[in-house]
Amino acid sequence: MPTYIALIQEDADGIFRVSFPDLPGVVTAGDSLDEAIEEAEETLEYVAGEWTNPDGSNQLPMPRSMEQLQHDPDFAEAADGGHIVEIDYEADE
């Protein structure tokens, strides 16, 4: 079961915004941290059913490990001051 990292940042309005470093453009939000995590789980499941790669395949890209992400300066900058949450995704076989 792949585990995707979700970055959760609270904005000035108190909204918890979620992004996935390995799934560019996939975002969601919640009114609380718990709600943002629930939304992240639901969004990942939804996106998995709609995802299309440039080559026409529909399998989500494999997520990078936390160790790999920590060496990515863009990730480090985006994660500063936020919450890092692991979201497990169980693909339908």
CATH of the domain at 41: 3.30.160.250
* Bridge partners, residue 83, by sequence: 8
Number of domains in the chain: 1
Within a domain: 28? yes
Which domain does 42 fall in, by range? Answer: 3-84
Where do we find the tokens 């992400």? Answer: 69
Within a domain: 50? yes
In one-letter notation, the amino acid at residue 39 is: E
Tens place of pLDDT per residue across the chain (93 aa): 789 999 999 999 999 999 999 999 999 999 999 999 999 999 999 998 888 888 888 889 999 999 999 999 999 888 999 999 999 887 654
Confidence (pLDDT) at 92: 59
Within a domain: 57? yes
**What does the alpha-carbon distance between residue 4 and residue 23 come to, in Å, rounded to a whole number?**
9
Within a domain: 90? no
**What does the alpha-carbon distance between residue 36 and residue 46 come to, in Å, rounded to a whole number?**
15
